[in-house]
Chains A and B, each alone.
Chain A
């Protein structure tokens, strides 16, 4: 059976202000696959993840992104979420005064509405929440607290995966979900992610350690350096990176390239 093509990123270039960050990213993700996106700090992994989720502070200057047959870059962030895209943030945002459960219910019902489904009533919603909480073994008391406010680093990461478990995305991008988790938490979260895996969904795991990939085993590993995917391979590539670092893949000195300022070229 042909696997459904979920995501095609072609020659994606993007910048923030006048700093070029992505310099021609190509990536293809099919249903049922797990991809690992690796690369040193500052190589553009989060930028790619945020652009896919719809953060408008980045300007796409070239290339395209097709998500399930649609031009992803034309969709508002909420439309992307409603279409099944999910980003677990590297730095989950604190939302003071907004109750975690209320927030999640609003999110789930927005997505259900988009799909033409009825709102979940309070009883069904709570049942779902209870079940999914166990998946990530998250402390239920976090539900009645404001979203992420005062959560520890690990609690925030669990809350991201918990949201993912409730919202059941088709394409999940997990940005450094492993950082801030101790080894036990890492195992639990990874087990949760694995349990959510289905033939019709896919996960992109962003990390700069190999550690997480012992638990979430990728079908493909990509190395992003200076805004470009410089190497792709299978899970063995992650092990190689663990041993050799990234240096051998860096073809040019690191550092941000500035686009020339308009009018700055005087002879």
Chain B
């Protein structure tokens, strides 16, 4: 056990409490899954900075606190209205909305749902022992490999289950929106998503994490995504947690033969966030694109760890992560690309670019190429820099003042990632959020 594991008993106690309060009624397979997971977590505890994967991110601020498991929230009508009028909720025609980890049917809307899509919460799917959920849940994100997946699985009680049957084109994006209403006592929430895209189908899926007010809480989310043969999924994650919140997320994606997976992670919130994004190219001809934008300031800490595994020949992966840092913020980017033996004709490209708007901001960026095949093309590049002086001068020479010029250039830097998102209302939301957070402001 690591030194951070001092208060694991409270997790054991929480687990038992949950079993007594409703959890005990769940099907046996789910209870067994949770039982194994809590044992695993208690065995390993929180990882410490002595572990390679956690070298730059100290979890003490999360581990040293204790959290309550939230009960089903009783929401006043005014709160419901507030949530419903959040721009991202209003933009989401087809959505499940969870508050403090619980599905809120009044806030959810499935009227625009494509008939070929099964969209429900995991709790109800598990209750009816949906055989696919039983078979697929926890098959991809390994409890044994991550304390946070173990903990999420140990406390798994709700989340979203999305299944698109084969050969369907689903145009309407599906939103999974996790809202936290912080309370005086910090809560911990374990969103869990299972996303299955059938062969030759296309879909767009958006995960959103936000909060109604500032407060300390901890979201530890896991999404398992399976993209079937020839299928296409655009998977967007928008993290706008409260300033004092903690956010840990694990996205595990399994990309089938000739499937196209494209992920965009937009992260602006939380005090300490870690994203583990693992994509496995499991069938020949698969394609994986990981784009990311992080925009942090103040004392925010944000850590993106991505892993793309080329396990078979003739797959392509492209990765572009961009960061904008202000204040005393600290970002970590670790991009691992693993080319397994035999994965010939792999084409992998990785880029990480960071813009430092303050002298006190810090970035640790690290590509990790593990290549065990010889006929491959793998490139990577990372930059950390300030605004381009020539570009600033060019804008100023046209009458735009220094502040506005810096704002425009920063905006331009971020647009590169935002513009790759195909869902227009989301692009607009991202641009608005970006504008709001740009330290320099923008011309009208």
**Taking beta carbons and an 8 Å cutoff, which residues of A are in contact with B?**
53-57, 76-78, 80-82, 86-87, 89, 92-98, 102-111, 114, 119, 146, 163, 167
Tell me how far the C-beta of B417 lies from the nearest C-beta in chain A, rounded to whole angstroms. 9
Given contacts A55-B393, A96-B413, contact A76 B399 (CB under 8 A): no
Q: Complex Cα distance A108/B398, Å?
A: 8
Contact A110 B401 (CB under 8 A): yes
Set A78, A89, A146: member contacting B401, Cβ < 8 A: A78
Given contacts A93-B390, A106-B404, contact A54 B397 (CB under 8 A): yes
Q: Complex Cα distance A96/B411, Å?
A: 10
Q: Complex Cα distance A106/B412, Å?
A: 14
Q: Complex Cα distance A267/B317, Å?
A: 65
Lowest 10 CB-CB distances: which A-B pairs, in order?
A97-B412, A97-B415, A106-B443, A81-B399, A107-B398, A77-B396, A93-B394, A98-B412, A110-B399, A111-B399
Q: Complex Cα distance A89/B413, Å?
A: 22
Give 14 A-B contacts (CB < 8 Å), ordered by A residue.
Answer: A57-B389, A78-B400, A78-B401, A81-B397, A93-B394, A94-B391, A95-B391, A97-B411, A97-B412, A97-B414, A98-B415, A103-B408, A106-B408, A111-B399
Set B405, B414, B443: member contacting A109, Cβ < 8 A: B443
The answer to whether B134 has its CB under 8 Å from any CB of chain A is no
Tell me how far the C-beta of B190 lies from the nearest C-beta in chain A, rounded to whole angstroms. 37
Q: Complex Cα distance A61/B398, Å?
A: 26
Contacts of B409 in A (CB 8 A): 95, 98
Q: Complex Cα distance A111/B397, Å?
A: 11
Q: Complex Cα distance A110/B398, Å?
A: 9
Contact B412 A146 (CB under 8 A): yes
Contact A97 B413 (CB under 8 A): yes
Contacts of A163 in B (CB 8 A): 398
Tell me how far the C-beta of A28 lies from the nearest C-beta in chain B, rounded to whole angstroms. 23
Contacts of B390 in A (CB 8 A): 93
Interface of B is mostly: helix
Contact A54 B412 (CB under 8 A): no
The answer to whether B136 has its CB under 8 Å from any CB of chain A is no
Contact B399 A82 (CB under 8 A): yes
The answer to whether B395 has its CB under 8 Å from any CB of chain A is yes
| Closest A residue to B390 using CB positions | A93
Q: Complex Cα distance A86/B394, Å?
A: 11
Contact B397 A77 (CB under 8 A): yes
Given contacts A76-B402, A81-B399, A82-B399, contact A97 B416 (CB under 8 A): yes
Q: Complex Cα distance A114/B412, Å?
A: 25
Tell me how far the C-beta of A153 lies from the nearest C-beta in chain B, rounded to whole angstroms. 16
The answer to whether B444 has its CB under 8 Å from any CB of chain A is yes
| Highest count of chain A CB atoms <10 Å: which of B396, B413, B415, B444 | B396
Contacts of A109 in B (CB 8 A): 443-444
Tell me how far the C-beta of A137 lies from the nearest C-beta in chain B, rounded to whole angstroms. 22
Q: Complex Cα distance A95/B395, Å?
A: 9
| Highest count of chain A CB atoms <10 Å: which of B390, B400, B411, B414 | B400
| Closest B residue to A89 using CB positions | B394
Contact B397 A110 (CB under 8 A): no
B399-434 to A contact mask, C-beta < 8 Å, 1/0: 111101100110111111001000000000000000
| Closest B residue to A57 using CB positions | B389
Tell me how far the C-beta of A248 lies from the nearest C-beta in chain B, rounded to whole angstroms. 35
Q: Complex Cα distance A224/B182, Å?
A: 70
Q: Complex Cα distance A78/B390, Å?
A: 14
Contact A92 B394 (CB under 8 A): yes
Tell me how far the C-beta of A5 lies from the nearest C-beta in chain B, rounded to whole angstroms. 23
B147-163, CB < 8 A from A: none
| Closest B residue to A92 using CB positions | B394
